[in-house]
Amino acid sequence: MIIQEKTACCVKDLGLMDYEQVYVQQKQYVDRLLNGSVQALLLCEHPAVLTLGRMTNESNIFVDEKGLMKRGIGVHHVDRGGDVTLHAPGQLVIYPILNLAYFGRDIHNYLRQLEQVAIDLLESFDIVADRIFGRTGVWIGKKKIASIGIGVRKWVSFHGLAVNVNMDLSLFSIIKPCGLDIEMTSLSEIKQETISMEEVKRRTIKCFFRNFYLEEASD
């Protein structure tokens, strides 16, 4: 980390919100930051939706468009790295709108820091998670619990980190998550109980502020 003093960041809890609406807000916050405003963390859940990153191989989606529509699952091609992923209620999605100039303009390091946020979050629930070399994200054994896909515009980050909390993991059967032959897991599956999303949000914010040396600011 290059940063030497805390930088300002506001937090917006958007609740359950349509993917496209949140994407519009991300772009607005990116523009604001480029024009001198503070950084932001946007927290939300999405109705069921597939997002297809720049590296998506559509053979990794096992249900055709009609089948997805029948299930009420939206599809969006997005300007982030990576393959196909899935968002749904019970998954916490965090969109950090951060000025990477504060962090050495190092995208690889930024990805590792996002992983560390998820690792620290899980540790706060007494869950041991780790990285797997060559695979972005956070894992518990061979199962993936947190997915990462980012975009960067003029060294401002957008898109971000998704942590499976209480979501219906069976939804992942319609895709090959991130283009990998893997199983997904969640906090509730590991703890064998429903986890408070509000508590997860609270701890996530704390982990972000500690790892990125942020201080809270008004919007």
Q: Among all residues, which ones are annotated catalytic?
A: 178
| Cβ atoms of residues 34 and 66 within 8 Å | no
Of 174, 172, 118, the closest CA to residue 148 belongs to: 118
The radius of gyration of the chain from alpha carbons, rounded to an integer in Å, stands at 16
- Strand 84-87's sheet: what is its strand order? 74-77, 49-52, 84-87
Report the distance separating Cα 2 and Cα 175, nearest Å: 38
Report the distance separating Cα 102 and Cα 140, nearest Å: 30
